[in-house]
Each structure stands twice: as C-alpha cells, then as structure tokens.
Amino acid sequence: MNSPFKRIGLFIRKDDPVMENAVIQVTEFLLSKSLSIVVNEPLSFLTDLNVISINEFPQNCDLTIAIGGDGTLLSASRVLSGTGLPIVGINVGRLGFLADVTLAKLEQQLSEILNGNYREDTRFLMHASVINGGEKSVGKAMNDVVIHTHQSLHMIEFETYINGRFLNSQRADGLVVATPTGSTAYAMSAGGPILDVDLDAVVLASVCPHTLSNRPLVVAASSVIDIVLSEKNTTSAMVTCDGRPGHILQPGDTVRINRHPSNIKLLHLGGHDHYSILRAKLEWGRKLT
C-alpha cells in the first residue's frame, strides 16, 4: 500500500474501559499494512507498542487516529490544534458527529483514508480567559465555552458584551457559547440552532433563562465576547471548555471568549456528508419518494 501516512499515532483515553477490543482491531489492521504505530498511553494488552506523549505526535507521526467517541477526538484536537497534523476519528461510542469511521467497516473505510481518498475538514477553536484585575487563560474549546452555576440551584446574573458593545443582562442557569462543531452538543440541548460546519460563526444560547425573551444569538466567529458576572450574585459560577473541569468564577469576574488563532484538520471519508450524519444521529425523516 502506497499510503501518504506511514507513521500512525493512536490516541485513546485511558479511563475508557471499552477500548481494548477496538484498539486491538485497529492495531492489527495497521500492522498488516506495515505501518509504524505509537500510542499515547501504555496498554497492558499491547505492551510492545511504543508509548509517547501526544505532544510528541507532530514530530513522530503523519496521522493521528483517535479511538473512542467525539470526546476523545476533541481531547486530541485541543492538543494538536495548530500543528497541521491531521486527525481521523474512529467512533466506538453511540452519538458521534465527528468520528465517522466505524469498527464494523474499519478495513474498508480506513483503507480509503490511508490511500489518500479522503475529504479534509478544517475546524476552528475558541479561547476563554478570566479577567479580574489581570487576565488568566482558562483554555481552548473546539465545542463550547460554558458559564454556569457552581454547586447551587440558584441562577446567576450576568451581562453580555459583543466587541465591547452591550448586548443584554439576564438571569439564567448559564450561557453556552458554541462553535459550529459544538452547535450539536450542549448548545442544541439549550435550544440553540444547528450551525453549518462551514459557517464562520458562533452561537450564544442561554441555559434555562428567567425571561423567555432571551433567545439564541449567532455572531461572527471573529467577535470578542465578554460575559460579566454581576456583583450581586450570591453564588459562585464556573467556566468550562468542552466540559472539562473549569475555573471557579466570583461576582464581578469577566469571561472573555474569542477565536483561537489555531485550527484543527480532520479527515473524513471521501463521501462524507454532514447532513446525512445529522439525519442519522437526530433521527430526522428520510426524503419523501
């Protein structure tokens, strides 16, 4: 096989107990194609694989294969963003919008990608920081940045500014700021619209707002979004990026969200169709005949 990808980095999350059979199946297939393999975690069931940090993948790999679900692919994407190293997702979970290679059709689908028959998909990320006197980085997000209540059933009160211009003040359980990639995640559950993945935009969706006139809003991805927590809040809040453990917020803190300068490169099957994935995952009706 004359593949453009000779060195493969396998990315898995160590805490996922269903990975063993999937990793063995993927590894056996790659070895049958005489490709070199490294993995980001030591595996008790495949002890002969070289283990390196994912931070070393760009210098040692031509392709990263993330085995798991969308969460696994998101974890790899945050680390590899800006490196130019492409990622392929193998979906072992249930609801996968990003990882579209399946174990059932692994050999056929992965062979196509390894042979160069793929569609390249570039996604952008956001960056969140907290401002209170100084500015502290919280992290990158490929799906969403969420400001939410922390260990309390009380709503939080906050103001939103877009590019320095006042938008609104509201009381809610939180606010989701999502990329097109993340518009099918928490933002959709909060009533936000599904954004086409090619849009250069982000959506702001309130979580259980006190006033029903607070509707989802779509703004340009280049916007600087400031969320200012009211000094009157009697409870703390938290900001999280892609659902990871976040940063505790205090009354008066400002969360600044803007586009991150780096992108991530995903590889899909040549016949990849985002709308067919939406139909399948959301159980939308088929075309009438």
Residue-range domain boundaries for the chain: 7-116, 125-261
In 3D space, the residue among 148, 136, 134 whose CA is nearest the CA of residue 229 turns out to be 148
The band of 245, judged by pLDDT with boundaries at 50, 70 and 90, is confident
Whole-structure pTM value: 0.92
Task: Tell me: pLDDT of 192 over 90.
Answer: yes
pLDDT at 16: 63
Task: Tell me: pLDDT of 107 over 60.
Answer: yes
Side-chain-side CA neighbours of residue 67 (13 Å): 25
pLDDT at 289: 64
Which position among 16, 48, 62, 70 bears the catalytic label? Answer: 70
Side-chain-side CA neighbours of residue 13 (13 Å): 17
Tokens of 113: 């990608």
In 3D space, the residue among 30, 32, 23 whose CA is nearest the CA of residue 7 turns out to be 30
Q: Please provide the CATH number assigned to the domain covering 125-261.
A: 2.60.200.30
Read off the pLDDT of each residue in 131-158 and give the average, rounded to a whole number. Answer: 92
Read off the pLDDT of each residue in 150-170 and give the average, rounded to a whole number. Answer: 93
Q: How far apart are CA 111 and CA 237, in angstroms?
A: 47
Least confident of 63-67, 91-95, 209-213, 219-223: 91-95
Read off the pLDDT of each residue in 55-79 and give the average, rounded to a whole number. Answer: 95
Task: Tell me: pLDDT of 77 over 70.
Answer: yes
Q: How far apart are CA 73 and CA 162, in angstroms?
A: 30
Using a pLDDT cut of 90, give the percent of the chain over it: 74
Q: Please provide the CATH number assigned to the domain covering 7-116.
A: 3.40.50.10330
25 SS3 class: helix
Q: Which residues contact 182 (CB under 8 A, 6 or more apart)?
A: 141, 142, 143, 144, 242
Task: Tell me: pLDDT of 214 over 60.
Answer: yes
- Catalytic residue list contains 70: yes
